[in-house]
Amino acid sequence: MAEVIRYDEESIRSLDWKEHIRTRPGMYIGKLGDGTSMDDGIYVLMKEVIDNSIDEFVMGNGKTIDIKIEENKVSIRDFGRGIPLGKVIDCVSRINTGGKYDSNAFKKSVGLNGVGTKAVNALSGFFKVQSFRDGKSKVAEFEKGVLIKDHKLNDTLEADGTLITFIADDTIFKNFRYISEFVVNQIWNYTFLNSGLIINFNGEKYLSKNGLLDLLKRKTNEEDMRYPIIHLRGEDIELAFTHENQYGEEYYSFVNGQHTTMGGTHLNFFKEAFAKTLREFYKKEFDLADIRSSIVAAVSVRIQEPVFESQTKTKLGSVSTFPDGPSLKQFIIDFVKKELDDYLHKHPETADALLKRIMQSERERKEIAGVRKLANERAKKANLHNKKLRDCRLHYNEDTTDKRYNSTLFITEGDSASGSITKSRNVETQAVFSLRGKPLNCYGLTKKVVYENEEFNLLQHALNIEDGIDDLRYNQVVIATDADVDGMHIRLLIMTFFLQFFPDLVKNGHLYILETPLFRVRNKQKTIYCYNETEKQKAIAELGNKAEITRFKGLGEISPEEFGLFIGDDIRLKPVLLNQETTIQKLLEFYMGKNTLDRQNFIIQNLRVEKDLVAAKEETELV
């Protein structure tokens, strides 16, 4: 008999602001994560604080922001006007409280809801706010949103501004850590969008003089460009773009200084305006895919009272530039048509290079049209009885508009490895794709091979990236291979596939390597899993010389019960990060070109399992 659930007045309760944020953090900061993904919650916490400092800079108050991260403690100091001293506590702990409801004071701000800093406060194990204003200082300290110390007003010689220090709550953000590359990328974006702003981060100075032109120079390499970066600036709009030799489309979009990682109306209108202008300029109805193929572009607009699709502000929903003003679509189309058309007429050599890039994309598309159609038909048939993909049940999270936030795809090789992960995974959010044997080395090949190769074709359909990563089904794409020579080779082959044909997936931080333990050290009372030799020695010291040590040579040797420990809350993922100074072409040539001595030495030095196993004669030994 079904249980009868009581529903009356006593069933109704109200959460205060702290409880609601801590109970439903996804509504405020998206996914939680542990810091291994650039969109994990700890970076959103930083962004919410920095956004307030940026708004002060935009209003002409303070040109410098100091940021420090020490052992997960984050400090952010700006030199703006400082929070009004009598409202310091309210501004960080009273929901829907802030100065940005007055649109005259913050005309083009991103933090319009009075929520951001309160979310940081509620989700921090320690939070301290200090305002410096007119020779006075006010300090308040909190724990998990609860005020624990209200300091008296004091005199100060410090310059006006605000200092916020916080440590994310480790009961919410499990085993988290800050990856400096992600923080630096976030800081660069702030400087690119705010010329003249200086950000000091852990002793390093960041600033930009040329806005989005500098951004694209950082994201591209001159050797790969088909023509020099086109940089167009106007009131409340800035664009920069070029075409490269790689596959895919790569966009960086911003609204009022906010990085809209999911794009939105402004990006869609730019794509439409860009294609419309080029069709009219060249007097030919090029296919949209040919115009946009291989583009790298940055788009920034500033509008009043932007409407985002979630509190994390990753996607713009606005269609107007100003209340009761021109449509955002017409604003962008008019700007692109005039400025880009003028630019191409003044720079005929650039216009010729751009035309050649479009026509090359057109030829390549037509060459693979037939094989693509057949491959798609095969993929549809294969999916009816496809054993390669064990999908997850959900591709969304109720607390966020981004359906991919909490979904993961593990790419494995062989039945034993895929079997262990499949049995131990979270079926709601984790999917498994099993490769058959070593994938093809696709270095230097054209995209035609993706459709001719069954493994690659089914993989791109599983990810839903055939026409780009806008509809990527999984936020995290995880390569899970054995930690031996063959496993590393397979890992490199999979990475080559993505870098060669879908580089934007890597550049946007979706590709990871799964780290699994190399050793199990246990006695009758306790079991410790170790990921390197150092951890193994510590475990031996802790458990004593009677401990049993097992070396795992392959993923298939780890039981499903144990595997569940390694892909759950304590999962260790290593993000695949691209060095800004290294081109993808050079990277692929090094790893997958001729078998050079440099590459052999690199593999030997970086294949940790081989160093750990070289002296091993048995899988299990007693110490």
Give the tens place of pLDDT for each residue, 461-489. Answer: 889 998 888 888 898 999 998 877 788 88
- Write out pLDDT tens, residues 515-571: 888 899 999 899 998 888 889 999 999 998 888 999 887 777 788 888 888 888 788
Q: Is residue 499 predicted with pLDDT exceeding 70?
A: yes
Q: Which residues contact 256 (CB under 8 A, 6 or more apart)?
A: 108, 109, 110, 301, 302, 303, 306
Q: Which pLDDT belongs to residue 3? A: 56
Q: Which residues contact 45 (CB under 8 A, 6 or more apart)?
A: 29, 74, 119, 120, 123, 124, 166, 168
Q: Is 354 within 8 Å of 301 (Cβ atoms)?
A: no
Q: Which residue has the higher pLDDT, 97 or 62?
A: 62
Q: What is the C-alpha to C-alpha distance for residues 308 and 523, in angstroms, rounded to an integer?
A: 54
Q: What is the C-alpha to C-alpha distance for residues 500 and 503, in angstroms, rounded to an integer?
A: 6
Sequence-ordered strand ranges (E) for 272-407: 295-301, 389-390
Q: What is the C-alpha to C-alpha distance for residues 31 and 406, in angstroms, rounded to an integer?
A: 7
Structure tokens given for 291: 């115009």
Structure tokens given for 222: 């001159």
Q: Which pLDDT belongs to residue 564? A: 85
Q: Is residue 238 predicted with pLDDT exceeding 90?
A: yes
Q: Is residue 146 predicted with pLDDT exceeding 80?
A: yes
The alpha carbon of residue 28 and the mean position of all alpha carbons in its chain are separated, in whole angstroms, by 17
Helix, strand and coil content of the chain, in percent to the nearest 5, comes to 40, 20, 40
Structure tokens given for 422: 């499949």
Least confident range from 22-36, 292-306, 316-330, 605-619: namely 605-619
Arithmetic mean of pLDDT over the chain:
84
Burial 281-297 (b: 16+ CB within 10 A, else e): bbeeebeeebbbbbbbb
Structure tokens given for 205: 């100075």
Largest CA distance in the chain: 80
Q: Which pLDDT belongs to residue 400? A: 42
Q: Which pLDDT belongs to residue 537? A: 92
Average pLDDT over residues 62-68: 95
In the chain, the domains with their CATH numbers are 17-206 (3.30.565.10), 214-365 (3.30.230.10), 386-516+553-592 (3.40.50.670), 517-551+608-623 (no CATH)
Given pLDDT bands bounded at 50, 70 and 90, which one contains residue 286? very high
Q: How far is CA 241 from CA 229, 499, 544, in A?
A: 6, 20, 61
Q: Among 99, 96, 89, which residue's Cα sits nearest to residue 142?
A: 89
Average pLDDT over residues 91-112: 59
Q: Among 40, 189, 191, 62, which residue's Cα sits nearest to residue 123?
A: 40
Q: Which residue has the higher pLDDT, 318 or 462?
A: 462
The alpha carbon of residue 159 and the mean position of all alpha carbons in its chain are separated, in whole angstroms, by 35
Rank 202-211, 449-458, 517-526 by mean pLDDT and report only the highest: 202-211
Q: What is the C-alpha to C-alpha distance for residues 217 and 239, in angstroms, rounded to an integer?
A: 13
